[in-house]
Structure 1
Amino acid sequence: MSRRLAVMAHYDHRGGVGPHVRRQVETLASAVDRLLVVSTADLTDRSRAWLGERAELVERPNYGYDFTSYQVGLHRAGLFGRGDLSSYDEVVICNDTYVPVTPYLAIFDRMAAEPVDFWGLTVTDRVAPHVQSFFVAFRPWVVGSQTYRRFWSGLDPLSTRRQVILRHEVGLSLGLHGAGFRSGAYFRETDADKRLARRRVRWWAAHRPGVSRSREGLEKLRERSREPWNPAAALADRALDNGRLPFVKLDTLRYDPYGLGADKLLTYCEERLPDAFAGVRDFLDETAAYYPPRPHEKLRSTPPALVPLRRQVEYRRAP
C-alpha cells in the first residue's frame, strides 16, 4: 500500500471554504495518509473548524503566493527537521485553484506505474517545459535529494504572479530536470488534442491586442500563433471527455483566457459533471469582485472575417 503526504495551499477572500474546495479536501484526504492544509485566509470560525476536522490546518499571513504555503507545509511536515519525508512513496503539493473531476485514487493508481521521478496533472512548454504547479507529486528519491531540499530552503517569497511562475513554477522543474530527474503528466495529449490546441492558439493570437496591419504586425501574429499552449485553458473541455483532463481551472472559467467561451464551458460542465460542479457557479459569482479582469490578458473583439471560424475552436460539449 502506497503512503502519501499532501500539502494543499488554500485562500479565500471571504475566509470560507468553497464547495469545490470542500470536495477536494475530502477526496484528497481519503487518498493520502497525511494532509496539511496551509491557509492564508482570515478564516471564519466555522471554516477553521471544518478544515481542522479533515486535515492538519496551518494558518499563516497572506504573502508569497502558493509556493510559500507549500514551503511552510513541507517544513511543518518535517522536510528540514527530524522527519524523513522520503519515507513516503509520494509527496504532493497542490492548491485550491481548480475543480477536480477525476478521483485522486484513480490518478495515483495510474501514475504509480509511470517511469518518472515527479509528475503533475499537466505539463506545458510555455516559457520552458515544466510541470504545472497547482498539482505536483514527487517520488521519495526526489524528496530526499539535495536539489529538492535546496530549492525549498532557498525559496524567497515573491510579490507578483509572473515572478512566481518564472522563478518558482518553472524553476522547480528546471532544477529537477537539471539534476537528471524525469517528469511526466497524467493528462496525455493526443494528436487530435494538439491540432485543436494549435488552432485555438491561432485564434487567441488573432484576438490579442498590439497587432497592426503592417509587415511587422503580421510577423508578430505569426510568432504568437506558434507559441506553446497552456492545456488548462486551450484544452479545458477535455475534462468532459470522461475526465481525461482531470480538472477545470477556475481561472479558465473566470477569465476565458483564449476567448473560447468559458460561459458555455461552465454550462457543459454542470450538465456532464453535476456533482463536481455543484455550487461552483455561485462561488464564481460571489467572489467575482475579488478577481477583476487582468488588463494584460484582455482580448479584442472578434474581427468579422473570423466570426465563421469560431465554431471550429470554441469549447465543446464532447470531443
Structure 2
Amino acid sequence: MAHWDPRGQVAPHVRRQVASLAAAVDELVVVSTADLDDDGAAFLGRHGRLLRRTNYGYDFFSYKTGLEASRPEDFDEVVVCNDTYVPLVGYGEVFEAMAGRPADFWGLTASQRVHPHVQSFFVAFRPWLVGSQAFRGFWGRMSPVSDRASVIAEYEVGLSRTLTDGGFRFASYYTETDADRALAQRRVAWWTLHRLPPPRRRREWEFLKARSKDPWNPAIALADVALAPSPPRPAGARLPYLKIDTLRYDPYGLGAERLLRLAERRRPEELAGVREYLAATAPLSAARPDTDLRPTPVGVRPLRRLVEYGRAA
C-alpha cells in the first residue's frame, strides 16, 4: 500500500483503510513517502511492515519498493493499492466476490479512457501472473516520471496494456449497468461543454460532439453510484469507494460539495474526518490545471439537474 500525506499524518479514513486491509490479508506492507509524525509511524507499524522512501515516482514507485522488499511469489494473490480513496465495502467482501472470477488480474474499477485498463489505486494479481515475464519485466523496466499525465500513460494504462499484450485478462469488481453508462455519457457531455471553447464553426461543433462521447472515468462520472441505497445491485457489482480527488477537485463539475454532503449523510462512519482532511490538506495539495473548467453556457444551465451528483443515489 502506497501512503502519502503532506502533513506527515495518517488521516482517519486512511487508518480505517489500513486496519481493514490488515484484517483481510496475510501480510500488509505500507510504503510511505511522507515525513511521518511519531503517531502515524507507530500506527502503520502496528498494522503492517512500514517502509519509507523519498517522494518521487508517484505511487507506482512505492508499489515497486513494496514488491521488491517482499516475496510476492509466496502468496495466493498480490495486491497493490494506495490511500487515495475512501473504501465503502469491506475488503473481505471484495476478495470473496472476486475469488471465482475468471481473470488473471483485477481491480475495483476499470476504465476505457486512453486504453482499456484497471484503475491503479487497487490492482490484484493472481499467482501465475506474478511469476510471469510480463509482470517482472514491467516492474524491472520502470523508471521515474515527473508528471501525473505520464504516470497515467506509462504506469496505469501501461500496466494493463503490458499484461494484456502478454495474453492475460482483467476484470473489475464494479460492473456498470446500462443506466450507469447512460448517466456517465451525459456527464461526459456536460464535462466537454466546460473544458472546450464555445464552438463557432461546423468543424468545431463536430469536434465537440465527438469529444462528448469520450469514455469516462467511473471514479468521477459515477461517484454517487457508491451511495445508492442498499442493496442496489448484486454482490460484487457495487461501486465500492469514493475517490478523494473527486471530492477535492470536482473534475467534471458535477457538484463535489453536494456529493460530500450526501456521502456524510448516507455513510457517516466511513466519511468521518474526510471533510476535515480535505480542508486541512487543500493548501498543501498540488494544483490540477486539467480540472479548471469554463463557466456553464447560459443555454444549458437548466440541464445541470440531469447530471449533478445525487441523481444516481
TM-score (ref. length: structure 1): 0.94
Find the aligned partners of 1:155 and 1:293 in 2 and give their Cα distance. 26
Q: Give the share of equivalent positions with the same residue, in percent.
A: 58
Which residue in the other structure is 2:278 paired with? 284
SS at match of 1:159: coil
Q: 2:267 aligns with which of 265, 270, 273?
A: 273
Matches within 5 A, 1:201-212: 201-212=188-199
Question: Is 1:100 aligned to residue 52 of structure 2?
Answer: no
Contact 1:211 1:220 (C-alpha < 8 Å) held by counterparts: no
**1:47-126 equivalences in 2 (<5 Å):** 47-78=40-71, 85-126=72-113
Structure 1 position 317, deviation (Å): 6.3
Unaligned runs of 5+ in 1: 1-7, 79-84
Aligned residue number for residue 3 of structure 1: none
Return the alpha-carbon distance in structure 1 between the equivalents of residues 189 and 61 of structure 2: 35
Superposed CA RMSD in Å reads 1.2
Which one of the candidate residues 128, 148, 151 is aligned to 1:164?
151
Give the TM-score, by structure 2 length: 0.95
2:38 to 45, 59, 72: 45
**Alignment counterpart, residue 255 of structure 1, candidates 232, 249, 257:** 249
Contact 1:255-1:293 within 8 A present in 2 as well: no
In the alignment, the residues of structure 1 paired with residue 288 and residue 281 of structure 2 have an alpha-carbon distance, to the nearest angstrom, of 15
Instruction: Give the distance between the partners of 1:130 and 1:296, measured in 2 at CA.
Output: 21
Match of 1:5 in 2: none
Match of 2:299?
Answer: 305
Tell me, in whole angstroms, the C-alpha distance in 2 between the residues paired with 1:234 and 1:63. Answer: 29
SS of the residue aligned with 1:157? coil
Please show how residues 165-204 of structure 1 align to structure 2 within 5 Å: 165-204=152-191
1:184 maps to amino acid? A
Consecutive unaligned residues of structure 2, counting only runs of 5 or more, are: 233-237
1:262-311 deviation line (CA, Å, top 9, x unaligned):
10000000000000000000000000012254223211111111111111
Contact 1:91 1:140 in 2 (8 A): yes
TM-superposed CA distance for 1:216, in Å, is 2.6
Q: Is the 8 A contact 1:37 1:73 kept in 2?
A: yes
* CA distance in structure 2 between the partners assigned to 1:89 and 1:299 by the alignment: 44
